[in-house]
Amino acid sequence: MSSIHPQMQAVLQKSSTLIPTFSYSETPLPEIRKLYAEERKFWNSEGPRLPAVFDTQVKGPLGNIQIRIYHPDPENTLPALVYLHGGGFVVGSNDTHDRIMRELAFRSGCAVVGVEYSLSPEQKFPVAIEETLSVLKWLKHDLPRKDNPAFNLDPERLVLGGDSAGASLSMGAALSFKNNLSGLFLIYGWFGLRDSCSSRLFGGPEDGLSEENRAFYQDAYLRSPEDLSDPKMDILNAELQGLPSSCLIVSDMDPLLDDSKALAALLEKAGVPCELHLHQGVLHGFLHYSSMLDAAVTALNQGADFLRRVFVL
């Protein structure tokens, strides 16, 4: 088992100066969301600038869904990565994951569409999955291409992906949209394991994935324990045949590591081309820290390379 990388230690030290330490069980949810967003502001600063970043809305099952289109070359029609942010289904937004999406658009040359799905516990499983499908169907069938150059997207070339909770939501939605996707880009997601070696070894207050935090997220997101057996939640027991090529990004000190390892093995067993990139000495959520962490830059480049290959760019 590797030890934490010095760069990751430096990230943790910096993060500790950005917001005060708080407990998920003792802090009101609005304050948790405020602190999460505040901490992310530093990590979202700087990074690449794109010629077109456009916010708009898509009609969903419960109202309008906010989306943000990052277009690195609005003069040309580009394929798109539909990106679902992490945050345990409870926190996060397009703003908190802005730099990740900008980096992926800049490095890949593809457009990125960030989806601001409904958070829990206000809306529970499977609302966020249904909203993701609404966005995918809008891109596929109802994109108003002439209204704005940011809409210059190719509906026949879509990859679905995200980090953490966003990776779980991506898989839940992909099961109903598999024939219309060019690929899946899954970053340290939870795919249904109730217990695992990695969940026993890792996870603490420093990465927001202590056992207490994971229970908090699950209780907020699920309607009842029976939801854990739904194939859209229990991805490892779902029908995986027919899914598109997949790229998984993981860290070796993540309580969710074994979820990705198990999913990669099952995808390969189902005949789905799959690549898994393991990063040493970093924690869950490391992709945010590309301004200080070489592993995050490498992972962004791996994701960008995957997108270019599946889109044949």
- Active-site residues, by number, are 164, 254, 284
**Helix 294-310 crosses helix 6-16 at what angle (to 10 degrees)?**
100
Contact between 115 and 83 (Cβ < 8 Å): yes
Per 3-state DSSP, what percentage of the chain is helix, strand, and coil (rounded to 5)?
Answer: 40, 20, 40
Dist. CA 311–CA 303, nearest whole Å: 12
Alpha carbon distances (Å) from 34 to 19, 126, 241, 263: 10, 25, 40, 33
Two structure tokens written together for 36: 């999460």
Dist. CA 97–CA 59, nearest whole Å: 22
Dist. CA 154–CA 75, nearest whole Å: 13
Dist. CA 133–CA 151, nearest whole Å: 18
For the beta sheet containing 111-116, the strands, ordered from the edge strand earlier in sequence to the opposite edge, are 52-60, 63-71, 111-116, 78-84, 153-163, 183-187, 246-251, 274-279
Dist. CA 90–CA 76, nearest whole Å: 36
Dist. CA 286–CA 294, nearest whole Å: 10
Dist. CA 72–CA 53, nearest whole Å: 9
Alpha carbon distances (Å) from 129 to 69, 101, 102, 155: 19, 20, 23, 19
